[in-house]
């Protein structure tokens, strides 16, 4: 599988100026290509092919006085900027036709020089190289110092130089890495994600939500207040913007590091991992939006998925409409609507359930059922006859009951 390895780089002032020039040229080529296609569409002309567009906005543009400075940067950077535009159009058309699953994709927009994130990409054609002294050689930029935290498992196929909002520079290498299966494990686990506890495992383990954004709220508020008092366009305002960006970057980096450690531990100790497919986008529009985004469920489950594939583990997602919270993990009876304030409940069969632990056990059982274990044994509670009220489909079941199913918030 293809993996990305990110490392901090420290360009010199002269190299930073060269990188800024490359960022600007890539942005101009992207915008020129987008403008050319929009103009062709408005004039009723046919869609410009990738080859014709490259000749118009790169090859021919270099011969004009207005775009002669495009020759000061590597041509691969310009070609990759145009490749990003072509990919954006393909995704947009695939979304319109229904071939691309998920949310609708908007058409590409013009890039601004004021964007918080700037990036350029070098492929093998650019002949970038990692030197023996540990520096990264980039064409028309120079040998850049890299802070290596580990060695690359193979030769990279491309490298992306990124400048984030906090003014930091990173080198992101794309590497074709081979799978490294771990020794088989006996345990399997179901995970119920929440807000009070970030994760409750089917074995009873509860992981407290770290709430990195909430913990940094006081400092962020102070920095945002200081930013609001700076005059627009002043140098002091630019410095205040960088301070706010650095504070947010620190929160994001801390959260990412914590999620990597937790996902690695869970993947290492369990042969199969099952989670509930939560609608994070929908929950991000509720009154719990700040807490939902602070938790970072989507990035955590994505880490579990790719690490399971790399280390030879099984990963599965349970349907979001599965009643994991209000279904008894012993007898399989589904209770009525359950308010979020209910932290424990008693099933008519006499079993007392902790809300989150019961949901995690149901996620594990349903995940095993969906993945149909090899021996074909019964792995979830046996079905029980539904009561008269449960036999029909309730009109409000999808919009009210299932929208927050399995989420611990209190």
Closest CA to 122 of 88, 172, 164: 172
Closest CA to 332 of 283, 383, 406, 290: 383
Find all residues with CB under 8 Å of 364, minimum gap 6, and list them.
Answer: 188, 189, 190, 202, 274
Active site residues: 192, 276, 356
DSSP 40: H
Instruction: Based on DSSP, count helices (H) and strands (E) in the chain, helices before strands.
Output: 10, 14
Using CA atoms, how far apart are residues 230 and 225, in angstroms rounded to an integer?
A: 9
Tokens of 357: 């632990």
Closest CA to 390 of 346, 314, 337, 317: 337
Distance of CA 367 to the CA centre of its chain: 23
Using CA atoms, how far apart are residues 22 and 75, in angstroms rounded to an integer?
A: 10
Measured CA to CA in angstroms, residue 305 lies from 47, 189, 299, 407 at distances of 38, 14, 10, 20
Tokens of 265: 């531990």
Contact of 18 with 140, CB cutoff 8 Å? yes
């Amino acid at each position: 599988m293809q993996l990305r390895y990110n490392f901090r780089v420290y360009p010199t002032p002269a190299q930073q100026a060269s990188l800024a020039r490359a960022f600007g040229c890539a942005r101009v080529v992207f915008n020129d290509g987008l403008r050319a296609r929009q103009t062709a569409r408005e004039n009723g002309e046919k869609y410009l092919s990738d080859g014709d567009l490259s000749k118009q906005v790169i090859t021919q543009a270099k011969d004009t006085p207005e775009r002669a400075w495009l020759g000061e940067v590597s041509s691969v950077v310009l070609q990759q900027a145009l490749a990003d535009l072509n990919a954006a159009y393909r995704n947009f058309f695939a979304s319109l036709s229904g071939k691309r699953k998920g949310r609708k994709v908007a058409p590409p927009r013009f890039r601004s020089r004021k964007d918080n994130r700037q990036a350029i990409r070098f492929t093998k054609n650019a002949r970038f190289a990692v030197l023996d002294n540990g520096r990264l050689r980039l064409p028309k930029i120079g040998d850049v110092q890299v802070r290596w935290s580990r060695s690359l498992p193979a030769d990279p196929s491309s490298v992306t130089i990124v400048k984030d909002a906090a003014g930091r520079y990173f080198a992101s290498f794309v590497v074709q890495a081979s799978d490294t299966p771990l020794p088989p494990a006996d345990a399997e686990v179901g995970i119920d994600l929440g807000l009070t506890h970030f994760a409750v495992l089917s074995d009873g383990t509860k992981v407290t939500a770290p709430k990195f954004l909430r913990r940094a709220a006081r400092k962020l508020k102070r920095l945002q207040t200081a930013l609001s008092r700076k005059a627009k366009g002043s140098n002091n305002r630019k410095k205040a913007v960088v301070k706010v960006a650095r504070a947010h970057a620190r929160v994001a980096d801390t959260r990412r590091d914590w999620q990597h450690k937790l996902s690695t531990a869970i993947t290492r100790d369990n042969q199969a991992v099952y989670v509930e497919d939560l609608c994070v986008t929908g929950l991000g529009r509720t009154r719990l939006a700040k807490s939902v985004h602070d938790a970072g469920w989507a990035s955590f489950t994505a880490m579990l998925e790719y690490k399971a594939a790399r280390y030879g583990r099984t990963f599965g997602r349970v349907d979001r409409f599965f009643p994991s919270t209000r279904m008894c993990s012993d007898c399989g009876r589904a209770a009525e609507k359950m308010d979020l304030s209910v932290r424990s409940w008693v099933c008519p069969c006499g079993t007392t359930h902790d809300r989150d632990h019961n949901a995690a056990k149901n996620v594990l059982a349903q995940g095993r059922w969906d993945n149909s274990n090899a021996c074909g044994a019964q792995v979830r509670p046996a079905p029980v006859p539904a009561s008269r009220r449960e036999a029909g489909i309730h009109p409000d079941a999808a919009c009210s009951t299932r929208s927050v199913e399995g989420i611990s918030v209190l």
